[in-house]
Amino acid sequence: MSMVVLIGLLLIGGVIAWWTERINSDWPRWVALATVCAALLYLLRITASLSLESFELVPDPHDGASWLLHLKLAWIPRFGINFELAMDGLSLLLVALTLLLGLIAIASSWSEINFKTGFFHANLLWTLAGVCGVFLALDLFLFFLFWEVMLIPMYLLIAIWGHENSGYAAMKFFIFTQFSGLLMLLSIVVLAWQGAVTNGLLSFSYFDLLGLPLEGPLAWVTMLGFFIAFTVKLPGFPFHTWLPDAHTQAPTAGSVLLAGILLKTGAYGLLRFCIPLFPDISAQFAPIAMGLGAAGVIYGAILAFGQTDFKRLVAYSSVSHMGFVLLGLYAWNTLALQGAVMQMVAHGVSTAALFTLAGSLQQRLHTRDMRQMGGLWHQAPRMGACAMFFALASLGLPGLGNFVAEFLILLGLFAVQPWLCAVAALGLISAAIYALWMMQQTFQGEPDTGRQMRDFNGREMLAMTTMIVALIGLGLYPQPVLDLVEPTLDALQQEVRSDVIRAFATTSAAQ
Amino acid sequence: MAVLWLIPFLPFLSATLMLLSAGRMPRYLSAWLGVGSIGLAAVCVALVARAYLADHQVQELTLWTWMSVDNFTPRIAFRVDGLTVVMMSVITGVGFLIHLYSVEFMWEDESICRYFAYMNLFVAAMLLLVMADNLLLLYLGWEGVGACSYLLVGFWYRDPDNGRAARKAFIVTRVGDTAMALGLFLLFTELGTLDIQPLMAAANDRWQIGDTLPILATALLLGGALGKSAQLPLHTWLPDAMAGPTPVSALIHAATMVTAGVYLIARLYELFLLAPPTLAVIAWIGLLTLLLAAFTALAQKDIKRILAYSTISQIGYMFLALGVGAFASSIFHLVTHAFFKALLFLAAGAVIHCLHHEHNIFRMGGLRTRLPVVFLSFLIGSAALAALPFSSGFFSKEGILLSAWTQPGIGPWLWAGGLLGALLTSIYSFRLVFIVFFGEAQTEPDRQPGWQMAIPLMVLCVLSLVGGWFVLPLSGVLPDPGHDPVSHWVEYISIGTPLLGLTVAYLLYLGRQVSIASLMASPAGAAVQSFWYGGARIDKLYDLLLVRPFTGLTHWWRNEPVDLLYNALVWMTRWGHGRLVVLQTGELRWYATSMVFGLLLLLAIVLRDSA
Amino acid sequence: MGGLQIPLEHVLLIASCLFSCGLAGLMLRRNLIFMLMSLEVMLNSAALAFVAAGARWGQPDGQIIFLFILSIAAAEVAVGLGLVLQIQRRFKTLDMDQANRLRG
């Protein structure tokens, strides 16, 4: 039940935050903060109550009992739909990341949002609830439900509290994700139907649907349904065009949530569902997916350099970084997968920080146009130092989390596709180009002496320091994170490997 | 050995403290912290070096396992052998002197705390680079020094030109670093480890001399070395990097970081010995670079740019030595070069400091009597750089030239090229001395260097003079093929060449026996001068081939070409809407009528089917 | 079951006549009140058909449905007249061809 409590806490917290606005418009902030803190503490308590050995146990992909937590309640038995949640190391990591970035999001919007604060924080918490649900749900129908739950509050966040062109951006975001979500729903139904044909039992459970013998064009189309849904969210080239608009127009907290965690649901979906459910087809599809990943890496980096809007630049850098994730996932070996998970975490932190910075800049200067900045280091050295740190992190400086991630991904990829690895490595060069150009345009150069700007205060520095420490920790001692997800990755790899072997065995027997 | 971890940690700790103080640290405290931490690290290095010299025992220390994924288990671990001891001594020893010098040089700068923080961070990263026992940790240091170089070149951030130079330095070296990263991927994929010693053992085990894979791997690693050490074709960043404060140029762009490429190749010499073609390429690149940079140095006007090109040229000598397999000679030249080039940069810094930030040598002159300490330093430094007999540079360069000579086949060519380079070196170094310190005064110095500047200069003077007699503890660490005895006239020629250069420089720039002005006035002379003044136009070439297409592409694409696809979809939807919307008249009766007819139609279909 | 038996066909004939009248009124009249009245006529014609069918087969369902239709008609008139008032107030006309603000 603990997972239900976790999600319920966030949902109810949202309602309370909305309601307390009637008393005082500052109360929702505190309520939201308290809710996320409570959820974090609760997660900590759940984790602490588990035995150490269970973290090393490889979770059986066909049986929830060996997972860290597993809950299955009947929901719509007629269609084989259950309320099924389960947690393994990967989910735990991502839920923890979600809650931590939730805190950052609340902190970064503390003084930015000054109307409808209650509804704002309600939406924020509901998004978090949806994301946690996505990371925990193992019934595909429930997964789809949470997938939609996180979408609508996010849409509202962008549409209501966004900047000058928020209506367009919010609608674009909504249509892209909604349309791709529809494809996924169709794929889920087809998959469940296939499962019913094969197993003689209609079920939407992940455990029942793994390892279905799927072949032919229908299976390809089904796989593509999942792939497109997740790649739109990731976002992978060429489905990324909603992202720069959404990021640019969203309020700071929205950008932080979008970049920090919503994008990760796409990567998580690919890792948990798309590849293991369709191992053979994914193996055949891998070169194309990796090609898209490499294209995203290069394309995002090139476009990032061309931008004049601070947030757009960071948004395109996200496209570039998430291209690495796509590469790592489809390289499908331990090194690359660990790198991909690491990238999810490290990119979540570093990009959240950059968006927080962008938000603070916009709040102070009332512009995101970098051509109107310059020399800000003079007025705000602390902001400058933070920006420098995260720019260096974003270009993959060793000793920080992003480097570990990108190095592992490329190292794993090199064994599979050396040439593609070389192409993707060009992204490292272009990352240096855009990250340093960003620093030049904003914080370096001749300061405008007539401009008054407040430097970071204690609250903002606290948020920044947390993320700086996290990135250094991930960069110098990533082992806890690697160990946490290792059993999950082992299980997934075994699942896929045995399936591919089985498929090969059957085809050779037929001949 | 427990003290080992303190060596990179002390500078790192002080850098962290200074960064955390957010610039509010009093300047004397930052100065003490900055200089003191390097001094303490130097003491630790001295302890380690004494222990090593006593028993030649390799010291190892593992702090923790960095990460462990599959069979990829790089550790945060140090390994100190003779080569590392030499490098550490240079870094902390010369580094300490330069830090001390910086106190006076930077005292009036408002951001002295930030300056020392970056400098200490650099020293820490550089120490990690040379102490690392595996290539990943080496890569951390490698990129770390690159980042610190970026921060320090762009230290005076208000001038966009400095920012441009800093970005150029980082990005050009990043090109090399990326090649190096690919080299690491290749090595790990093939050999299954990145720990340096097991790696070389495995390479010797599995690969034969001249196999494709070692050639490929070493070529990729060479890419990294070329970028970091500013060799052709990735040398263009170093002259621009002179935008930083002068002590930075002395430490990073002369003594330590730019020689990292030399260190890398020497460190992995067993791997490179498996790839003779790569070694040959290294030798030729070294030769080409040293000649090109020497010619360019001859045509420059900015005192620091002259020294920068001279650095490129001297590292060219080191590469030449590496290419002919004389690894120990290369490291020897690295050490002496660190002494005399740091000396030259610091002396140049003193000139700039005392002359209101004047960089143009033609606006100096006559400083011999006005800044005697600086003049002496510059003279000794130039003598060592030109390899005048019995200076430190003489011994190291002599070793390189003789090793080149004894190389079978291409040896004499390399030797002749190196000799030409030595001639040019001598000419441009004394051109600098004669123009800056002799002749008529153009600008009056407004101050004299204080003791913090004078002491490092004096110490480095001594080192530049006697450095040639040092015996580096490299036996057993690097192969020293030695060279067959060569006929005496070869040695005489190499001794005589710098003297010839000195004479030429005297005739051209001091004695005015040959009018350099009329030579430059002729059209051919002016064309040659402008060609070399622009660094052989390589920068322009890159600008045309790489920078402009890239910026053009980004400009063309900045509004998201992929969106055209989706906009086409939107347009089609809009078009369909325009066609269908006419049906929506808004008139109730029209709707009712169409419903009736629709119903009738349906009824007709049903009736027909049932009939 | 004595007395005058009216054949089902006759009742249906009347019902369809009524329905056609209503339909024609709906399609041809422009005044909203007359359109509502036509609608009532159509509803009643359907109700008549139900009652007749109930009587023919001796089932109560027809009368139940009649009651249903009665209440629906009442509700519809209430809503409809409300709309009529609003439209009159806003457009100063009950000509439905004038009130075509929903045109795309």
Query: What is the DSSP track for B242-257?
Result: GGS-HHHHHIIIIISG
Interface present between A and C (3 or more CB pairs within 8 Å):
no
Amino acid found at C21: C
Residue B582 lies in a domain: yes
B574 and B450 co-located in one domain: no
Confidence band (pLDDT; 50, 70, 90) for A507?
very low
B481 and B383 co-located in one domain: yes
pTM of the model: 0.88
From B447, B481, B514, give the residue that closes a domain: B514
Q: What is the DSSP letter of B66?
A: -
Smallest CA–CA distance, residue C27 to chain B, in Å, is 5
Give A493-501's long-range contacts (Cβ < 8 A, gap of 24+).
Answer: A493/A332, A493/A333, A493/A334, A493/A337, A494/A58, A495/A61, A495/A210, A495/A211, A495/A276, A495/A279, A496/A275, A496/A276, A496/A279, A496/A282, A496/A283, A496/A332, A499/A211, A499/A279, A499/A280, A500/A279, A500/A280, A500/A283
Smallest CA–CA distance, residue B588 to chain C, in Å, is 7
Residue B3 lies in a domain: no
Task: List, as ranges, residues 39-98 from B with C-beta within 8 Å of C.
Answer: none
Nearest to C100 among B583, B586, B596 (CB): B586
Smallest CA–CA distance, residue A389 to chain B, in Å, is 11
B279 and B371 co-located in one domain: yes
Give residue for tokens 């408002």.
B110
Whether A423 and chain B come into contact, CB under 8 Å, resolves to no
d(CA A424, CA B557): 19
- Provide the β-strand partners of residue A309: A369
Which helix (DSSP H) or strand (DSSP E) does residue A337 occupy? Answer: helix A334-365
d(CA C51, CA C59): 9
Which chain C residue's Cα is nearest to B582? C104
- Provide the β-strand partners of residue B75: B65
Q: Quick one: pLDDT at residue A186? A: 94
CB contact under 8 A, B586 and C23: no
Confidence band (pLDDT; 50, 70, 90) for A500?
low
Amino acid found at B460: L
B459 and B353 co-located in one domain: yes
B73 neighbors B104 (Cβ within 8 angstroms) = no
Residue B117 lies in a domain: no
Interface present between B and C (3 or more CB pairs within 8 Å):
yes
Smallest CA–CA distance, residue B553 to chain C, in Å, is 43
d(CA B302, CA B314): 18
Smallest CA–CA distance, residue B39 to chain A, in Å, is 25
Residue B105 lies in a domain: no
Task: List, as ranges, residues 447-476 from A with C-beta within 8 Å of B.
Answer: 447, 476
Per-residue pLDDT, averaged over A70-75, amounts to 87
Q: Quick one: pLDDT at residue A182? A: 93
Nearest to B581 among C97, C101, C104 (CB): C104
CB contact under 8 A, B588 and C96: yes
Whether A72 and chain B come into contact, CB under 8 Å, resolves to no
Q: A438-485: per-residue pLDDT in tens?
A: 998 888 888 877 778 888 888 888 889 999 999 999 999 999 999 899
Which helix (DSSP H) or strand (DSSP E) does residue B78 occupy? Answer: strand B75-80
Amino acid found at B65: T
| Chain C contact residues (CB < 8 Å to B) | 23, 26-28, 30, 35, 96-97, 99-104
Six-digit token pair at B138?
């080496």
Which helix (DSSP H) or strand (DSSP E) does residue A74 occupy? Answer: strand A69-76
- Dihedral of CA A130/A132/A135/A139: which sign? negative
Q: A319-362: per-residue pLDDT in tens?
A: 999 999 999 999 888 889 999 999 999 999 999 999 999 988 88
CB contact under 8 A, A429 and B566: no
Least confident of A139-148, A426-435, B27-36: B27-36
Mutate to test the interface with A, among B24, B67, B573 (most CBs of A within 10 A): B67
**Chain centroid, CA A399 distance in Å:** 22
**Contacts B587 to C, Cβ<8 Å:** 96-97, 100, 103
Q: Quick one: pLDDT at residue A423? A: 92
A494 neighbors A276 (Cβ within 8 angstroms) = no
**Contacts C28 to B, Cβ<8 Å:** 589
- Dihedral of CA A272/A276/A277/A279: which sign? positive
- In angstroms and rounded to an integer, the radius of gyration of the C-alpha atoms of chain B is 31
Residue A386 pLDDT > 50? yes
A210 neighbors A492 (Cβ within 8 angstroms) = no
CB contact under 8 A, B592 and C27: yes
**Contacts A422 to B, Cβ<8 Å:** 182
CA A497, A503, A504, A507: dihedral to nearest 10 degrees?
A: 180
Residues 6+ apart with CB under 8 A from B202: B191, B192, B193
B370 and B447 co-located in one domain: yes
CB contact under 8 A, A426 and B178: yes
B496 and B578 co-located in one domain: no
Which helix (DSSP H) or strand (DSSP E) does residue A165 occupy? Answer: none
Whether A313 and chain B come into contact, CB under 8 Å, resolves to no
B318 neighbors B266 (Cβ within 8 angstroms) = no
Q: A261-295: per-residue pLDDT in tens?
A: 899 999 999 999 988 888 888 888 888 999 999 99
Smallest CA–CA distance, residue C35 to chain B, in Å, is 9
Work out the angle between the directed axes of helices B372-386 and B327-354 (0-180°, nearest 10): 150
Whether B357 and chain C come into contact, CB under 8 Å, resolves to no
B355 and B451 co-located in one domain: yes
Q: B499-532: per-residue pLDDT in tens?
A: 888 888 887 777 766 666 677 777 777 777 777 7
Residue B282 lies in a domain: yes
Neighbours of A223 (CB within 10 A): 22
**Contacts B177 to A, Cβ<8 Å:** 428
Mutate to test the interface with B, among C19, C26, C33 (most CBs of B within 10 A): C26
Whether A168 and chain B come into contact, CB under 8 Å, resolves to no
**Contacts C41 to B, Cβ<8 Å:** none
Q: A24-33: per-residue pLDDT in tens?
A: 888 889 999 9
Domains delineated in chain C: 31-96 (1.10.287.3510)
B602 and B453 co-located in one domain: no
First CA to last CA distance, chain C: 57
Between residues B536 and C34, which one has the greater pLDDT?
Answer: C34
- In angstroms and rounded to an integer, the radius of gyration of the C-alpha atoms of chain C is 17
Is residue B233 helix, strand or coil? coil
From B514, B540, B571, give the residue that closes a domain: B514
Nearest to C27 among B581, B585, B596 (CB): B596
B185 neighbors B208 (Cβ within 8 angstroms) = no
Six-digit token pair at C18?
């009524």
d(CA A1, CA A360): 39
Residue B454, Cβ density class (10 Å: 0-12 exposed, 13-18 middle, ≥19 buried): middle
Which chain C residue's Cα is nearest to B578? C104
d(CA B383, CA B394): 9
Query: Within a 13 Å sphere around the CA of B274, how many CA atoms are in the beta-carbon half?
Result: 22
B500 and B573 co-located in one domain: no
Instruction: Answer yes or no: is the ipTM higher than 0.95.
Output: no
Smallest CA–CA distance, residue C49 to chain B, in Å, is 18
Q: What is the DSSP letter of B72?
A: B
B486 and B577 co-located in one domain: no
B421 and B491 co-located in one domain: yes
Q: Quick one: pLDDT at residue A498? A: 57
Amino acid found at A308: T
Which helix (DSSP H) or strand (DSSP E) does residue B108 occupy? Answer: none
Q: Quick one: pLDDT at residue A499? A: 55
Whether A407 and chain B come into contact, CB under 8 Å, resolves to yes
Residue B60 lies in a domain: no
**Contacts A237 to B, Cβ<8 Å:** 562
A394 neighbors A402 (Cβ within 8 angstroms) = yes
**Contacts A397 to B, Cβ<8 Å:** 143-144, 147
Is residue B10 helix, strand or coil? helix
Residues 6+ apart with CB under 8 A from A193: A202
CB contact under 8 A, C96 and B589: yes
B282 and B359 co-located in one domain: yes
CB contact under 8 A, C102 and B583: no
Confidence band (pLDDT; 50, 70, 90) for C104?
low
Closest CA to B311 of B261, B377, B373, B374: B261
**Contacts C34 to B, Cβ<8 Å:** none
Domain span at B422: 275-514
Residue B364 lies in a domain: yes
Q: How many domains does chain B have?
A: 2
A226 neighbors A62 (Cβ within 8 angstroms) = no
Confidence band (pLDDT; 50, 70, 90) for A505?
very low
Per-residue pLDDT, averaged over A191-215, amounts to 85
Give residue for tokens 């969210």.
A233
**Contacts C30 to B, Cβ<8 Å:** 589
Closest CA to B219 of B168, B169, B282, B156: B282
From B481, B514, B547, give the residue that closes a domain: B514
Residue A469, Cβ density class (10 Å: 0-12 exposed, 13-18 middle, ≥19 buried): exposed
Residues in chain B predicted with pLDDT less than 70, given as ranges, are 1, 480-484, 512-517
Peptide bond between residue A238 and the one before it cis (omega within 30 degrees of 0)? yes
Is residue B234 helix, strand or coil? coil
d(CA B29, CA A76): 71
d(CA B92, CA B37): 10
The DSSP-derived string for B339-360 is: HHHHHHHHHHHHHHHHTTT--B
Residues 6+ apart with CB under 8 A from B440: B365, B366
